[in-house]
Every structure is written in structure tokens, then in C-alpha cells.
Amino acid sequence: MEETHNNQTHAPQSQDLPAPEVSNMKAANDLPKLLLASSSPRRSQILQMVGWPFEPGPIEIDESLRDGEPAREYVSRLAEAKARASAEVHAHRPVLAADTTVVVDEHILAKPADVDDGKRMLRLLQGRWHQVLTGIALLTETATEVDVEMTEVRFAPMSEAEIDWYVRTEEPMDKAGAYAIQGKGARFIEGIKGDYLNVMGLPLRLLYEMIRK
């Protein structure tokens, strides 16, 4: 103990040490408050989880798929439309909007229309890989940025009894692709390649990169 104490007394004083990069630290932690143009509790949960300040500004738009529209263009278009519509109503910047969809065999699986549609989607997904795409739109006073994150997810094989049970929980009924990876649907997920939060509905790393530009 004595030897340690003596060594400390001869250590350089604080003024001799290089100053920390306070400005860079502040910039890294200085997250702008967002207007979240979404009623999704999952997206709110993700922002709350990392302490990103936001206020809700949900907006309703027509989410109909256009004939022949690719999935990437579809989620990009909807995300930007939501951001612009919310900005007009709430007159607040910056605005964040997102839209998530599921793609299998180039077919877009949005939210199921009813129980039978939910079962149909789960039968398509079970035992195979599919893609989850989320379009993000960030609208500020000076620019509009839109980008897309893609994650691959593999579903385990499901029996008809498991499909019936899962649909009866009602969890799939307001989810793209008829499942929630953060909910009861997690028991059917065999693998994932990419951003887990993207499957929940908000790829946080992509958002952070867009904010830092």
C-alpha cells in the first residue's frame, strides 16, 4: 500500500495530462429530439431503450401497394410520405418516419387482412428464409434523407397446430408478415442475418448514421 501511495504522489498532475475531447464526446451524445411519425409501440420502445428523445406524431396515409412496385421502393415511398404528412400537421423538425414490410419470393407480405390471410403468410414463411425491409425517412429544415435497411430471417418449420395457435394469440394481426420477432413469434425464429432492431421496425444504427451526416 505504501509503495503504491508513493508512486501516486510522483504521478503527473492533472494539468499535465492531455485534455479529453469534450467536444467530440458531446457531439456523440447530443441526439436531436425527433417527431416520430408512427403509432408503432415497437418504434417508440426502441427509441426509449437507448434514451433518444422524441415525441409522437402519428399520421395516417394510404399504404396501398402500387402495381409492380418493388419492396424497396414501396417502403421508401411510404416512409417519406409519412414524414411529409406528419410535418405538415405538426410543423416540427426533425421528423422521423419508417415503414417495414416482409418479402418472400419477391412477394410483399404486409399486415394480414384477416385470420386466414395471417395463416397464409405463416405457411409461406415457415421453414425458410425471408427478408425484412424497413424504409426510414428523416425530414429536417434543410433536407430529406431516405434509406432502407434489409435483414434476413429464417423461420422454423411450423405445424398447422402451431400456426393456428399463433394466429389465435392475435399477435400477428397488426404485423407485417404476420409475426413479431420480439413477442411470441420469437419461438419460431431459427436464424437472423443483419439488424435485429430492423425486424422490430426501426434500424437504429442506420438512423444514427443518417443523423450524423
DSSP 6-60: HHHHTSPPGGGSPPP-HHHHHHHH-PPPEEE----HHHHHHHHHTT--EEE----
| Continuous segment of H or E residues that includes residue 104 | strand 95-104
Residue of 16, 62, 99, 174 marked catalytic: 99
| Cα 87 to Cα 161: distance, rounded to the nearest angstrom | 45
**Cβ(124)–Cβ(112) below 8 Å:** no
Is 195 in the active site? Answer: no
Q: Which residues are part of the catalytic machinery?
A: 99
